[in-house]
Amino acid sequence: MQIDHTSPVPLHKQIEVLIRSLVESGDYDGGKLLPREEELARKFGVSRNTVRQGIYKLVLEGLLVRKKGVGTMVAPRTITTHLDEWHSFTEEMSRRGIKVRNYLVDIQSEAAPQGVSELFQVQKNAELFKLERLRGDENGPFVYFISWFHPRVPLSGTEDFTRPLYKLFEEKFSIFPTSSHEELKAVKASEKVAAYLGIEENTPVLFRKRTVFDTGNRIIEYNLGYYRSDKFAYSINIRRNS
């Protein structure tokens, strides 16, 4: 934890690198406060403004949180998924080195709600397969999924739904999910959702509606996802047309 005053690298950049290493070490997880600016300034032999400048970049990145009158701490770690690329949940988590754990997998044939039957353009109260999955990592569940499947997906209900869903579609049914329509908003967790995710009822959660289409642009799945907002985030890259 030393900086080189003779280096051509600006002092605030060196401090940024050192504090980033503290964040990545995990020693300050769980709300533990980082050393105060005055303490870091004395340690590095620089001004408080230089320390503050080094910290500011990490605050902008969302790695640190500054609370007035309290101090600076590591922001709660979240899993970020990008809306400019689309994969099954299991594949997406695997790409980020996260081993998915299934806390609940339940498949039932039920009468479709009105909105689902209208979306699928099937008879009112038609019996459709409904899949519920509570998923997360070794630290606990962080997302609850409800999926309704169009009758064109020839499910028997005995499939292994612990494996990647879209791999199952491709390999068993030769159905290839290729695109989806997404809607995102914040909602209050119902009693059921809160119990599943281990949070208080009415806590804000990220709610995502997804309609999945095959290569013929036909609907094959309607999916509802409830994500713990302290564990999961979406990001999107947007290019401005010139």
Task: Give the pairing of strands 71-74 and 64-67.
Answer: antiparallel
- The per-residue b/e assignment along 40-73, b for 16 or more CB within 10 angstroms, e otherwise, is bbeebebeeebbbbbbebbeeeebbebeeeeebb
Type of residue found at 178: T
pLDDT at 198: 94
Q: Could you give all domains of the chain from N- to C-terminal order, each with its CATH number?
A: 11-74 (1.10.10.10), 79-235 (3.40.1410.10)
Pair 178, 215: CB distance under 8 Å: yes
Which token pair is 66? 């500054």
d(CA 197, CA 228): 7
pLDDT at 187: 94
pTM of the full structure: 0.64
Task: Give the pairing of strands 71-74 and 101-111.
Answer: unpaired
Average pLDDT over residues 163-185: 89
d(CA 151, CA 37): 61
Name the one residue in this structure whose structure tokens are 């050393």. Answer: 35
pLDDT at 95: 62
Query: Is 216's pLDDT higher than 80?
Result: yes
Edge to edge, the sheet with strand 101-111 lists: 101-111, 127-137, 140-149, 219-228, 204-213, 179-188
For 171, counting Cβ atoms within 10 Å of its Cβ (0-12 exposed, 13-18 middle, 19+ buried), the class is: exposed
Q: What is the pLDDT of residues 85-100, one digit of tens each?
A: 455 666 666 665 667 8
d(CA 232, CA 206): 8
Query: Is 81's pLDDT higher than 60?
Result: no
pLDDT at 89: 67
Query: Is 8's pLDDT higher than 50?
Result: yes
d(CA 146, CA 134): 9
pLDDT at 91: 64
CA 33 to each of CA 15, 17, 29, 42, 67: distance values in angstroms, whole numbers, following the listed order:
17, 18, 9, 17, 10
pLDDT at 82: 45
Average pLDDT over residues 210-234: 89
Q: What is the pLDDT of residues 30-48, one digit of tens each?
A: 778 888 889 888 888 899 8
Instruction: For residue 103, name the pLDDT band (cuts at 50, 70, 90).
Output: very high
Type of residue found at 65: V
Instruction: For residue 188, name the pLDDT band (cuts at 50, 70, 90).
Output: very high
pLDDT at 120: 95
Q: What is the pLDDT of residues 129-144, one digit of tens each?
A: 999 999 988 889 999 9
Grouping H, G, I as helix, E, B as strand and the rest as coil, residue 78 is coil
